[in-house]
Chains A and B, each alone.
Chain A
């Protein structure tokens, strides 16, 4: 099925039984708004050990060419694992909003 055909104009056009006829639609579910705590990365403290990148369950930690990391807030649910595993406390969890 084409992507256009899977853009229901109204609830009456929803596929029966909520079948999802395309792959990778989970990418359009921005689960980041479930987050209560927001990880803040203090880049100056980061030692590029990549423990956060390994442990992130989403994965919402992006690894760059030089092994520096950034956080994808579209999908980070704020679980705080990254902050807990960081050996140099470069990630701080702060309240959202």
Chain B
């Protein structure tokens, strides 16, 4: 079935199809329409979930930690300041090994107050143990949300997963979205994983661990995170069989094979990047584009393989990373260094706080990158 949906509604439909047991969230722009739609689904009976109303994002995640601790499938969504208010328990959910799924509609952090897209909120979670996916269209929001449940609840993983997408360009823009006819063919059966707590077998969660035990617990998480790419590829493979859409590598390449320069981006700006690649190619300039879907764990191997032998990598970072290269560019630099690749790396901090980035901007970035040294530059427009 194909529906005309915003990115936020696509998330709500994916969640409806995943049939979680417990949903808890607190409203914040631009996330709120997800939860409003889910409330409608609960009201109409299409979704048989308990909605826990709370007074903050911190409580929303805490409610899901409680619910997931006894085996509930769960969902929440937030943005920006809401994620930061939730932050303490975001890490708690990962450390407690609870397969909670969250939607994150990326929005700038204040001050100054700003409701438009910026990936600063997304990047704050990057070392927490959450599997982090980035969608660049409503269709990807739908697909990756379903995949997020498959990865989170897999017994080799048991870590929370989030799917992020841009405020407004994706969250509030209507696009055709093809739904999976029978999501149970994709998702693990409910109760396939063993929750840490059960009423009939009392235990306690969140206790003191001495240094060795703490380190060992984190080491178990490190190993679980290492298994994510394989589990992600398996789940994406099942989705491909059902729909033909393929996310299994964790990234997409566009006209990279004979390219000398590759743009790397996440999110809605990738559409403009692709158009710019076509425009530059039409003039005989060998460029390509790489879009990251699976941000954590980062696909170092795959990205390095794509970039190996290229002359230049241009990273579009939708954030200002103060005092260092932005996280996405740093990850690309790491991928290159691990493989011993010598590729000029130029990062443009572009689209910050919702600034529009167009095809012409991307073409202009290419020209600017040719003239400049490797490094990070702030893109203020043409």
Residues of A within 8 A of B196 (CB): 15-17, 19
Among candidates B95, B202, B219, residue contacting A17 with C-beta atoms closer than 8 Å: B95
Residues of B within 8 A of A19 (CB): 196-197, 203-205
Q: Decide if A97 is an interface residue (CB 8 Å cutoff).
A: no
- A52 and B214 CA atoms in complex are apart in Å by 34
- A1 and B204 CA atoms in complex are apart in Å by 12
Among candidates A1, A14, A16, residue contacting B201 with C-beta atoms closer than 8 Å: A1
- A75 and B300 CA atoms in complex are apart in Å by 48
- A20 and B96 CA atoms in complex are apart in Å by 12
Residues of A within 8 A of B207 (CB): 18, 20, 25-26
Among candidates A12, A14, A21, residue contacting B203 with C-beta atoms closer than 8 Å: A21
Q: Mark A23-39, 1 if CB is under 8 A from B, else 0.
A: 10110010000000000
Among candidates A1, A14, A22, A26, residue contacting B217 with C-beta atoms closer than 8 Å: A14
Of residues 1 through 59 on chain A, the ones whose CB sits less than 8 Å from some CB of chain B are 1, 11-12, 14-23, 25-26, 29
Q: Classify chain A's interface size.
A: 10 to 19
The chain B residue with its CB closest to the CB of A11 is B216
Q: Decide if B241 is an interface residue (CB 8 Å cutoff).
A: no
Q: Mark B207-230, 1 if CB is under 8 A from A, else 0.
A: 111100100110110000000000
Task: Check if B203 sits within 8 Å of A18, measured CB to CB.
Answer: no
* Given known contacts A12-B220, A16-B196, A17-B96, A23 and B202 CB-to-CB distance under 8 angstroms: yes
Of residues 74 through 129 on chain B, the ones whose CB sits less than 8 Å from some CB of chain A are 95-98
Task: Check if B208 sits within 8 Å of A29, measured CB to CB.
Answer: yes
Task: Check if A14 sits within 8 Å of B213, measured CB to CB.
Answer: yes
Task: Check if B203 sits within 8 Å of A20, measured CB to CB.
Answer: yes
CB distance from B352 to the nearest CB of A (A): 37
Among candidates A11, A17, A26, residue contacting B97 with C-beta atoms closer than 8 Å: A17
- A10 and B219 CA atoms in complex are apart in Å by 12
Residues of A within 8 A of B289 (CB): none
The chain A residue with its CB closest to the CB of B214 is A18
CB distance from B263 to the nearest CB of A (A): 40
Q: Decide if B150 is an interface residue (CB 8 Å cutoff).
A: no
Q: Decide if B365 is an interface residue (CB 8 Å cutoff).
A: no
CB distance from A3 to the nearest CB of B (A): 13
Task: Check if A14 sits within 8 Å of B158, measured CB to CB.
Answer: no
The chain A residue with its CB closest to the CB of B215 is A11
The chain B residue with its CB closest to the CB of A21 is B203
Among candidates A12, A14, A20, A29, residue contacting B204 with C-beta atoms closer than 8 Å: A20
- A4 and B3 CA atoms in complex are apart in Å by 55
CB distance from B201 to the nearest CB of A (A): 7
Task: Check if A16 sits within 8 Å of B203, measured CB to CB.
Answer: no
Task: Check if A18 sits within 8 Å of B98, measured CB to CB.
Answer: no
The chain A residue with its CB closest to the CB of B95 is A17
- A14 and B206 CA atoms in complex are apart in Å by 14
Residues of A within 8 A of B203 (CB): 1, 19-22
- A96 and B214 CA atoms in complex are apart in Å by 27
Of residues 210 through 262 on chain B, the ones whose CB sits less than 8 Å from some CB of chain A are 210, 213, 216-217, 219-220
Among candidates B96, B98, B197, B220, residue contacting A14 with C-beta atoms closer than 8 Å: B220
Residues of A within 8 A of B216 (CB): 11, 14
Residues of A within 8 A of B205 (CB): 17-20
CB distance from B210 to the nearest CB of A (A): 8
The chain B residue with its CB closest to the CB of A16 is B97
- A1 and B198 CA atoms in complex are apart in Å by 11
Residues of A within 8 A of B208 (CB): 26, 29
Interface residues of A (CB under 8 A from B): 1, 11-12, 14-23, 25-26, 29
What are 20 A-B contacts with C-beta separation under 8 Å?
A1-B203, A14-B213, A14-B216, A14-B217, A16-B97, A16-B196, A17-B95, A17-B97, A17-B98, A17-B205, A18-B96, A18-B205, A18-B206, A18-B207, A18-B209, A19-B196, A19-B197, A23-B204, A25-B207, A26-B207
Add 18 more A-B contacts to A11-B220, A17-B97, A18-B96 (CB < 8 A). A1-B203, A11-B219, A14-B217, A16-B97, A16-B158, A16-B196, A17-B95, A17-B96, A17-B205, A17-B217, A18-B206, A19-B196, A19-B203, A19-B204, A20-B203, A22-B203, A26-B207, A29-B208
Return the 8 tightest CB-CB contacts between A and B, nearest first.
A11-B216, A17-B97, A17-B96, A16-B97, A21-B203, A19-B196, A20-B204, A18-B217
